[in-house]
Structure 1
Amino acid sequence: MANTREPAGAALLQESVTAAITRAMFDQLAEIGYARMSMDAVARRAGVGKAAVYRRWPSKQAMLIDLVGAAIRQNLPEVPDTGSLSGDVRGFLDVIVKQAADPRTRRIALDVLVETTRTPELAAALQDVVNKPRRTAAATVLTRAMDRGELPAGIDVELGLDLLISPLLIRLFRTEEKVDDAYLTRLAKVTVAALNAL
């Protein structure tokens, strides 16, 4: 008689294993940093064999790039369309603040940023999975403003993206200064003025 037993749900098991590894990697990053993290330690923390990790990624760097990229793609909120450049700039700043609200996220981001200064290949790879999605979202703000006639079509878009992104990220990740509603309102006003001066 032929064996008609249903498969044991390997696909679901695989997803649960990947999820466990993902949680373990981010836990390790937050607690000990990228330099001290190892794939073996991630496997132990996830409660899986080393082979389960190595089947998915050939190296620690590949694992980091893949999982950080996936997290960013899943958690990049859409920039709100408020109907005005000033409103869109403020909405974009609010999105950045929301993404960086978790102290653990900030610790991981700073640790990985430091590591990129020592590992050019990591810096190049993270450019694609971290910086490009954020700049693409910021470009939406500029494109809408140009479509509405609030900004001229020939502005320096790359400089505009720097203006939208860099000041707030530096304050969030490199200083202890608070980021409250009053600060965001002032920053949005200054950013709009700077964009109009491009």
Structure 2
Amino acid sequence: MLPGMAETPGTTRRAPAGAAVLREDVTDAIRTAVFEELAAVGFARMSIEGIARRAGVGKTAVYRRWKSKLALVLDLVTAVAVQGLPAPATGSLHGDVRALLEVAAHALRHPVASQVIPDLLVEAARSPEIADAVKAALLDGRQGVAAVVVREAVARGELPEGADPDRALDLIVGPLYWRLVVVRGDLPKGYLDGLAASAVAALKA
């Protein structure tokens, strides 16, 4: 099918004349501007106008791609949150947990996590809409991965029937989030290995 055309059952329809073509370089410039604006003013004070100004584009260029600053930021958060998915398949519970920690550590050290997520959590406490959106972006995908890891561990006999994926996610990612996002500490050599061993021991207890 040629660019600018869309198919419907039984028909081929050309996109309306003059339909906007979203340039990737403009999209990239807007995303870069979001990081810069967040670092400068935070989520609450960030505006579409400020983002557009930093990106060197008009406000309409931003609104063609995202309906609001929340939608824009959550799009970036989601992109980081899903890095490394789908679930690991190392063949052992310890291997899967260690792989999950590696992915989570990479994501939590990304500028989206260190600069954006704390701001969004503050806003989420005030707005059910933001709270639901943040949960969908940050938690839902991870819950699915944890469910697969637990299910496979149960099938191998490493965990008992009825093992709770939510508890597994708390034990695996919770300490890492505390250290990297709340405390903002470094990860000493061997930290992820030790955390993986501790999480697996807790899950088997």
Deviation, 1:102, is 3.7
Counterpart-to-counterpart distance in 2, 1:114 and 1:53: 24
Hey, what's the Cα distance between the residues in 1 that align with 2:65 and 2:109?
30
Structure 1 Cα separation of the partners of residues 185 and 70 of structure 2 = 32
CA distance in 1, matches of 2:81, 2:111: 16
Higher helix proportion (structure 1 or 2) = 1
Q: Deviations over 1:151-185 (max 9, x none)?
A: 12211222222212212111111114432233222
| Equivalent-residue separation in structure 2 for 1:104 and 1:133 (angstroms) | 17
Q: How many residues align?
A: 189
Q: Does residue 42 of the first structure (1) align with residue 44 of the second (2)? A: no
How far apart, CA to CA, are the structure 1 residues paired with 2:112 and 2:72? 19
The C-alpha deviation readout for 1:94-127, integer Å capped at 9, x for no partner, is 1111222345641222222222222221111111
Using structure 1 for the length normalisation, give the TM-score: 0.82
TM-score of the superposed pair, with normalisation by structure 2 = 0.80
| Structure 1, unpaired ranges of 5+ | 1-6
- Contact 2:108–2:114 (8 Å) recurs in 1: yes
CA–CA separation in structure 2 for the residues paired with 1:26 and 1:182? 31
Distance 1:61 1:93 in 2: 28
SS of the aligned residue for 1:57 comes to coil
Tell me the equivalent position of 1:171.
179
Q: Does 1:31 align with 2:40?
A: yes
Q: Note the residue ranges of structure 2 that are not aligned, 5 or more in a row.
A: 1-16
Shift in Å, 1:85: 1.0
What corresponds to 2:61 in structure 1? 52
Q: Among residues 98, 101, 107, which one is paired with 2:109 in the alignment?
A: 101
RMSD of equivalent CA atoms:
2.5
Query: Does the CA contact (< 8 Å) of 2:80 and 2:112 recur in 1?
Result: no
Q: Is the 8 A contact 1:138 1:165 kept in 2?
A: no
> Hey, what does 1:84 align to over in structure 2?
92
Asked if 1:20 corresponds to 2:3, the answer is: no
1 CA distance for matches of 2:176 and 2:147? 16
Percent identity for Structure 1 against Structure 2: 46
Task: Tell me which stretches of 4 or more aligned residues in structure 1 moved more than 6 Å.
Answer: none
